[in-house]
Every structure is written in C-alpha cells, then in structure tokens.
Amino acid sequence: MADVKEEVNVEKIYGKQSSLKKDEFLKTFQIDESGLKEEEAISRLNKYGLNEVKQAKPKRWYNYFWSSLFSPFNSILLGIACVLYYTDVYLADNPSYANIIVIGILVASSTLLEFFEEYHSNKAAEKLKELVATTTTVIRNGKETKIPIKQVVLGDIVLLSAGSLVPADLRVLDSKDLYVGQSSLTGESDAVKKVVETIYNTSEIDSISDLDNICFMGTNVISGTAKCAVIKTADDTYFGKVAHTIQNNKTKSAFQSGIESISKLLIRFMLILIPIVFILNVAKHSTVTAFTFAVAIAICITPLLLPVILSSSLSKGAVRMSKKKTIVKKLDAIQSFGAINILCTDKTGTLTEDKIVLEKYLDINGEEDYRILKHAFLNSYFQTGLKGNIDEAVVARALQNGMSEYTEKYKLIDEIPFDFSRRRLSVIVSDGAKKQLITKGAVEEILSICTMVDYKGEVSPITKQIKDNIRRISKELNEDGLRVIAVCQKNDIANVQDFSVDDEKNMVLLGFIGFLDPPKESAKSAIQNLNDAGIRVIVLTGDNLEVTKCICKKVGINSERIIEGKEIEKLTDAGVSRLLKKSNIFVKLSPIQKARIVRVLHQGGNIVGYMGDGINDAPSLTNSDVGISVDTAVDIAKESADIILLEKDLHVLLDGVSERKKNLWKLNEIYKIVNKF
C-alpha cells in the first residue's frame, strides 16, 4: 500500500467545496453543469498551465546530466581524483597530472555516454507515450469529448465511469453507485463510496478519507458513474501537495536488486582492501607511495564503465523495442522484461482473438429465442459504464437483426452499474407503458437472484430441476468454448424511484446468450516458444473453468489441474505457493486473488511479468516485476504498467527475450567477476 504522510490541511483546502450543497457549490464557484466553452477552456489553460504535477513532469536535460555525473561509481572516481590531486600534485616534488587526466577522461566519457543515451531514449519514450496518453471525458461546448488529462482545467465538467482515472481533484455533482479506489493515496484496500452531498462539521475533517463527495487526482473508479466538477489541478491537488511523500508500492525488480548488490559489494571491497593494502605497504615504502598504490587498487577494482554499459544497453534496447511497437515507460523494466521466467496473463485478448461474436441466444431449454437477444440488447445499449467487447457484440448482433427501432422506442430511466463482487449489470428502461429492470451477468450470480422463469411467455416458479438443466446447458456451451451470460428481468417496479442493488431480487430468468472468442492462431506457437526460452506461462482469469480449459487446450497449456478462486481463498501464502508448483491455470479469480498470486510468485524468487488491460488487472500489474499492458487498456492499467504494447501479441514478449540476449551478457560478465571475489 502507499505510505502517505498527511502534511496538508485538508479541512482548510477542501472544507468549503465539500460542505456546500450542490446548488450552493455551483453558484459560489460559478460552475456551469453544461461545461465550459472551448474558448474559456483555452484561456484557463494558458492562465493556469497544464494539469501536470511537478514530480510527474518529464525531466529536463540538466536533470539527466547531473544524474549521470554523480552516479555512485562516478562519485567514487571523482573522490579518487581528489585524493590523487593531493598525492600527485600537492605533495609531489614533480607534480604529475597524468592519473588525474585519465580519470577525468573516464568520468567525462562515462557521463556523456550515459547522458546522451538516456536523454535521447527517454525523449523518444516520451514521444511514444503520447500515442497512448491517458484521456478523460469532459463536457465542452455542451458535448461530451475526450481530451488528454493534462489539458483538464478548473471548472471543467468531467464524466467518470468504471475504469476511469480521476484526472484532477473533483467535486461530485451527480453519481450512481460510484466507488473509487484510493489505495494510492490512503492505503485503503477497499473501494470508497462517493456521494453528491454529505452532512458533517468541517472541523471534523482530519484526512481525505473523511471527504465523501470529493474524488482525488491519481485515484481510479472501480464501479459506477458520476458527473463531477474540477476544483483543483496540477500541484494544487492533494496528490500534487503530497507527491514527494507517496511511495509507490511497486516492489524492486530483480535487476534493480542485482545492481544495488553489485554496487554495495564493490564499495565494501574498496573500504576493506584500501586500508589493508596501505598498511601492508607503508612499512616498506613512503606514506605517499603506499597511499598512491592503495588508490591504484581502488581504481582497478572499480568498474569504470559499468554505468555506461548498463544505460547504453538499456536505452538502445528501448529504442529497438520502440520500432517493434513497444513503449518502455521505465528504462529498468527492459532488463526485467527480458529476464522474466514466469509470465502471468489473462485469457481474453492474449490467448484469444479478443473479437467476441454473439453466437447464441437461448431460452431456459436451450432453444433459440429472439426475446433473449432483445433484452440483452436493451441492457448493453443503454448501460452508460465502460462498454466492453461483450456489449459491443450484443449491440452489433441485435442491429443486424433489425432491432434498431428499440433505441427510439425505449429510454433509460436508471442504472445499477457492474462491479466485480456482484458480477452483473442492470438497467431500468421504459417504453412509455411500463418500466423494466433488465439484468445480465454470470450464470450463477443471475440464478442467485431469480425466483421465476419465463418460457415462451409463461412465467412459473424456478425449481432445482430447472436450475440443474440450465447449468448443464451452460456447461456444454462452455466446453465448446463459448462464454455464457444469463439474462433476467422484472416488471413490478412501477413505484420504485431510486434503484439500487437491493432491487436485484425476485427476478424472472429469461435465458442466456453465448459468445465465441476463438484462440489466436499465433498463441500456440508463441507459448511453445516462450516455454522453450524458459518462460512458464500461467493463466489468471475471472472466467469460468470450462471455457478456460477449452481455450488452454487449444493453445497448448497443460489443463489437467485447474484451480478456482474459492480454493485459494482460505489458504496461506505457503499453501498458494504449493498450488502454483502444480498448476498453470487459475479461474474465477477476483482482482485481489490475482494480485496475491503474482505477489506469492515474486516472493518465491521468480521474475514475474504480468500482462493485463482491465480494471481488475491494476493490482497485479503493480505487484509484478514487469507490468505489461496495451494501448487499448483502461486508464488505470496503462498507468500501472511498466511497458505498453501497441499490439497485444505474445510474440512481442519473444522479442523481449531476444533483447535480453543482446543486453544481458555484459551484466553477466560483471556478475562473474564480482563472484570471483
């Protein structure tokens, strides 16, 4: 978790914005819910500057130069040069600058080579990162539009949905089941519910955890939707004020730990050997000669070009990888990227084509029924959250079947957004005559809220036999590689005004829809090549056992033993570690369970890469040695990743292995030399 020291007066900064009622807030701060005019937004951007926190802004050239000049090994050499000046110039009868000049040339060469390589590669990386710059949705000129987060200004109206990264400090104006993850700022593991108005005494505000109607920059939306007003940007945000105290919970990679070990070991050798050499020689030679010889020993055991070798290899690797549609956000990640021995990945989009097609729409007896497609279409079309491939597939198939008229006939009344605990989503729609609550989601979760079934217009109580039959049909479809989602509805909601999760009960089961997402043709060969290169592939997915097993068989992943999330829930880390030795496939996992598995693998001495692009992948991306995402990922996944692929293909990882072979040999030679000591 993040470790943040509270050193800003939260009550003073946010007390007024959070304590005012919505109408008073809008009037006091002259905020228009219809959004800013483009001209006003440009004016404010010129006046207040970009929405960038100082600590997060790109480094200037002199930052790279001073960092290169005063690297640990260069500092040692500069120290030695000072000592040589004292012995070879100040104390000597015949001053000699030869040794000092040699060290000066080495320091200059090391500094300039490292500076130019790292500066240019990072500038190239910054340009590439603009291709996948995180955006946010705002209302400008009365219309919804996406803009880069850095262009958000005070007074902007921001629209949030599941997966959104909060772009600035925001006051909530309207919300629907809005839950925000604040762990990056507060360390809270649970999502926090945000509301429009809350009643409290401003003097009781001690920390940002007390502010229920303020969303903070750097946090992310777990579920729900909201319309918010920007109240603070850039360094004025809470994130900006405490950025220097926030510690990223990203663990040190094996590469970083290895470099630190080498540095500390060499420095220890110097501190021990130099005095010993001096003492052994001072009795036979003059003090100056003995000291000079000891200094020469220090020079000999100092790997003068180690910084150059490392930075040059890594930065060149970053440039080469950029030509292969791979953006390296953190230079150190290159080495870990090539050195991973375990790759954890989701199934969808990595092993499969990620081109989901709606194949079947069936009633409770497995017979095709257009009513199922209609209700699924209404749910997918009118939901306002983060639309996934499933929603897009439903809408596309329905429109092909001439259901576009329903977009005009029905209107959205309310919505109960998706979350990972319920694993379902509901919309409330009306055709003018009646209101319907339509829900779609995982089969078991839908069965748990249904008490009735609808078969060809006849409604009857659901029985154990009916449930077992539905599970049987669903399992058969899963075994054929189809992902199955159930659909249900409820009509007796005319008197309900404010809908919530509590209304998802006593529903009528209609049937289910089946999606086909075939495995990639390249996946099998890519996994075989990864295995040949010593990289074990582990599948971590929230999908069910049968679908995952079908896909994994086709791509060549051992599927004899598959572990479900519920099996690891009560196990200790040691127990999870034992399971990881026997199984390569884990299904029906929650985001926390995924992150735990990655953490256990890392703690077991493995170099772990994690590839994911969803909201639920963010914790795992952070826990891994190398977080790998794609440019089409949700905001929080891209921000959590170390490397971003412009093409979601396992073969790109094979390129990383080849980069390791090109870059790692020099480091290995250094390791061998050090180990001889």
3-state secondary structure 314-358: HHHHHHHHHCCCEEECCCCHHHHHHHCCEEEECCCCCCECCCCEE
Q: How far is residue 344's CA from residue 131's CA, in Å, rounded to a whole number?
A: 26
3-state secondary structure (DSSP) of residue 118:
helix
- Paired strand residues for 488: 439, 509
**Long-range contacts: 529-532, Cβ < 8 Å, 24+?**
529/651, 529/654, 530/343, 530/650, 530/653, 530/654, 530/657
Contact, 384 vs 394, CB < 8 A?
A: no
Among 154, 143, 169, 65, which residue's Cα sits nearest to residue 110? 65
| Residue that is written with structure tokens 């069965």 in the block | 447
| Residue that is written with structure tokens 């015949």 in the block | 94
Q: What single letter denotes the amino acid at residue 659?
A: E
Q: How far is residue 353's CA from residue 371's CA, in Å, rounded to a whole number?
A: 28
Contact, 132 vs 631, CB < 8 A?
A: yes
Q: How far is residue 169's CA from residue 191's CA, in Å, rounded to a whole number?
A: 17
User: Is there a catalytic annotation at residue 431?
Assistant: no
Residue 154, both tokens: 């005070």
Q: Where are the alpha helices (DSSP H) in 134-253?
A: 183-186, 238-242
Residue 54, both tokens: 């100082």
Contact, 136 vs 230, CB < 8 A?
A: no
Q: How far is residue 221's CA from residue 225's CA, in Å, rounded to a whole number?
A: 8
- Beta-strand ranges (E) seen in 350-449 are 357-363, 411-416, 424-430, 435-442
Contact, 499 vs 457, CB < 8 A?
A: no
Among 372, 347, 356, which residue's Cα sits nearest to residue 470? 372
Q: How many CB atoms lie within 10 A of CB 572?
A: 10
Contact, 49 vs 56, CB < 8 A?
A: no
Contact, 582 vs 561, CB < 8 A?
A: yes
Among 539, 619, 494, which residue's Cα sits nearest to residue 345? 539
Characterize 314-335 residue by residue with b for buried, 16 or more Cβ atoms within 10 angstroms of its Cβ, and e for exposed.
Answer: bbbbbebbbeebbbbbbbbbbb
Contact, 552 vs 587, CB < 8 A?
A: no
Cα torsion 336, 341, 343, 344: sign: negative
| Active-site residue, selected from the candidate residues 88, 169, 177, 346 | 346
Rounded to whole angstroms, what are the CA distances from 549 to 286, 468, 587?
77, 21, 9
* Torsion on CA atoms 79, 84, 85, 88, rounded to nearest 10: 180
Q: How far is residue 167's CA from residue 147's CA, in Å, rounded to a whole number?
A: 11
Distance of CA 93 to the CA centre of its chain: 64
Distance of CA 39 to the CA centre of its chain: 34
Q: What single letter denotes the amino acid at residue 388?
A: G
Q: Where are the alpha helices (DSSP H) in 190-305?
A: 238-242, 254-282, 287-301
Which residues participate in catalysis according to the annotation? Answer: 346
